[in-house]
Amino acid sequence: MDANELKRLYEQQFEDDLKPPIREHVDRRTTLGMLRASRGMAAGVLRQQYHREIWIWSDLHLGHSGTISVFGRPFDGPADMDKRLFGVWRRTVRPEDTIICLGDVVFSGLWGKRRKRVAAAPGRRKILVFGNHELGIAGVGVPGFDEIYGVLYADGDPPLLMTHFPLRRVPEGCVNLHGHLHNATVRGSARHINVCVEQVHYRPRSLTAIRRLAERVVRGEVVPGRTTAHQLAHVG
């Protein structure tokens, strides 16, 4: 498995979803948009030795009040959510660090002043793996991010396959880091790690810690914990 193989695997998943008969849960417009966006982007490669510390999270949905009620987020409104998420970003990530967002940073159509806040937030490299709520600005770049990919591959043992939508098939020996599902997890699979903000308790997590968890799950160990944050606390 390498970055280009990951890209092909991810795009094949969208292609399969578009084959008739289209399943009830599939949003054809979104799926087609994600497929086209991925085809137009490079597959990213992340090598730990080129970075100081790497942080990761997903699905901030900045500015969107509906997200707070739908997913039970502990905020008083979109302004409070933005303030607290940007606050923890500033307190956690150093200027020399790298931060990765696995999609849906700002809810569609609500970039506005948030583009400046993303650009001003700390991180020498800000990497975005494209999500469905970035579709509205596909082809024009995403404000504040230095690198944008359809998928991101991190070498190591195990290899980490980073996508917005979870992979339906995770190659043997690999672990899929993903977003999109918010409070939910992929049923029947240990080799998925959900880094949505709900799962990581609303702060970016160290990729070093995520890799320790990945090492355990790829060996088939059952790591206790209701959320990814709980599992990370268990592995230390």
Answer yes or no: are the C-beta atoms of 148 and 41 closer than 8 Å.
Answer: yes
Q: Dihedral of the CA atoms 223, 174, 201, 207 (nearest 10)? A: 110
Count of other CB atoms within 10 angstroms of residue 210 = 24
* Domain residue limits, the chain: 3-235
Residue 236 reports pLDDT greater than 60: yes
User: Tokens 């510390």 appear where?
Assistant: 53
Least confident of 20-24, 130-134, 138-142, 166-170: 138-142
187 or 138, higher pLDDT = 187
Split at pLDDT 50, 70, 90, the class of 179 is very high
Q: Look up the CATH superfamily of 3-235.
A: Metallo-dependent phosphatases (3.60.21.10)
Tell me which residue of 75, 76, 83, 78 sits closest to 65, measured CA to CA: 78
How does the average pLDDT of the chain come out, rounded? 92
Residue 140 reports pLDDT greater than 70: no
38 or 107, higher pLDDT = 38
Residue 23 reports pLDDT greater than 80: no
Residue 188 reports pLDDT greater than 80: no
